[in-house]
Amino acid sequence: MYRALIRPLLYLLPPEAAHQFAFGCLRLLAAIPGALSLVRRAFHSGDEASHVRALGLDFPNPIGLAAGFDKDAIGYEALGAMGFGFVEVGTLTGQPQPGNPTPRLFRLPKDRALVNRMGFNNRGSADAIARLQRPHRTIVGVNIGKTKVVPEEQAIGDYVASAKRLGPLADYVVVNVSSPNTPGLRSLQATEKLRPLLGAVREALNEVSPARRVPLLVKIAPDLADEDVDAIAELALDIGLNGIIATNTTIRRDGLASDAAEVERCGAGGLSGPPVHDRSLEVLKRLRTKVGDQLVLISVGGIETAEQAWERIQAGATLVQVYTAFIYEGPLLPSRLAKGVAAQQTMGIAP
């Protein structure tokens, strides 16, 4: 039904407008008393084979929604009810910001891909506090980034402000230094800049949540050179990070099926979906070689099927995330992936 009827109707709208409409429908659903309980019973299998223990948490399944869909922590409970094992909200910044000028989100249907240059549009980390304080069943990760107007030399303070506000409310926190849409952000992936940043965020989380060590992860780009991936893996081990999310969107445009003119019309921004699949898998395998079982690896990038999700788990991922496939495949995707991965586990195919 989604592919045949709903998706064609949504595609009559510009991509960002379609996203806002779909998100509005989720919010309406959540406002109906008892609706989310019914949705959760319909979409969650309850299969023990799906459960994953990681980051000190019990995930109902390993399929998560990547940051970027629920930027302001508004609909995470509805999304969790739809079958996701966890939802990562954000990216939230220290100050509210409108993001980049529109249009800033584009579809490449021939590649089942998206190009976005949203620019961390969000209401700011302080605004999300009240919504994250609400009782909820969904495991929620909080992704934090740098406010665009904050200069690089003040970036640590900006991240720390968000960490202090949201750390006690998050099941885990992610430091995002890998979006291509905030000028200078990716330079923070250099280990000499990343070490003090992660150290300061870790200290802030310990300060505001002394009774619970909030898991801290970093999200990296697929465009890093192999030696830089290795350096971040070594840094993560050295400072006691809990995990790495690999990977964000790519700035590369090679190997696309879409017409060159269509790609050109999209302009600058991060490309997501199947075109980033191969590099994301390569980065995952490289990280696994470097960190073994010492860190939780969350793999994201081009995952569309249960077979691909299981491939990531076999390659060393504890958890996986989707985003672009959710846009193309619709609300049945998370439960379909979760059931498919559980079937592989039941068959006794060891990761």
> Does the pLDDT of residue 350 top 70, yes or no?
no
Please count the structural domains in the chain: 1
Identity at 314, one-letter amino acid code = Q
List, for residues 13-60, the tens digit of each pLDDT value.
788 888 888 878 888 887 888 888 888 888 876 667 688 999 999 999
- Please confirm, yes or no, whether 179 is among the known catalytic residues: yes
pLDDT of residue 314: 95
> Does the pLDDT of residue 316 top 80, yes or no?
yes
Residue 141 located in a structural domain: yes
Task: Give the integer Cα–Cα distance in Å for 87 and 139.
Answer: 6
Residue 121 located in a structural domain: yes
Task: Give the integer Cα–Cα distance in Å for 250 and 264.
Answer: 15
Task: Give the integer Cα–Cα distance in Å for 343 and 61.
Answer: 12
Q: Report the percentage of the chain scoring pLDDT > 90.
A: 75
pTM for this prediction: 0.93
Residue 69 located in a structural domain: yes
Annotated catalytic residue: which of 179, 258, 272, 280?
179
Residue 289 located in a structural domain: yes
Residue 187 located in a structural domain: yes
Burial (CB < 10 A; 0-12, 13-18, 19+), residue 78, is buried
Residue 188 located in a structural domain: yes
Q: What's the mean per-residue pLDDT of the chain?
A: 91
Residue 351 located in a structural domain: no
Identity at 143, one-letter amino acid code = N
Locus of tokens 């964000």: 248
Residue 192 located in a structural domain: yes
Nearest Cα neighbor of 40 from 99, 85, 86, 80 is 80
> Structure tokens of 269?
């921004």
- CATH code for position 33: 3.20.20.70
Q: Which residues contact 47 (CB under 8 A, 6 or more apart)?
A: 339, 342
- Residue of higher predicted confidence among 38 and 302: 302
What range does the domain containing 115 cover? 2-346
